[in-house]
Amino acid sequence: MVSWIKKILLVLVVAFVLFYLFTRPEAAAQAVMTFFGAFESIGRFFTTLAS
């Protein structure tokens, strides 16, 4: 029963991401840039900390 619920949730999440990507590509691109920008900020923090 739990695996069935997990599969349904996964399908719903993937469907939402695809819908969002095709209906608002600029916002989706901005979200991806923000996500990867967080890694850059973390790297900059540790580089500054190590200096």
Domain ranges of the chain: 24-51
Query: Which pLDDT score, from 0 to 100, does residue 2 have?
Result: 85
Tens-binned pLDDT, residue by residue, of the chain (51 aa): 788 999 999 999 999 988 988 899 898 889 889 989 888 999 999 999 988
Q: Are 28 and 20 in contact (CB under 8 A)?
A: yes
Nearest to 28 by CA among 18, 38, 39: 18
Q: By three-state DSSP, how is residue 30 classified?
A: helix
- Predicted model pTM: 0.54
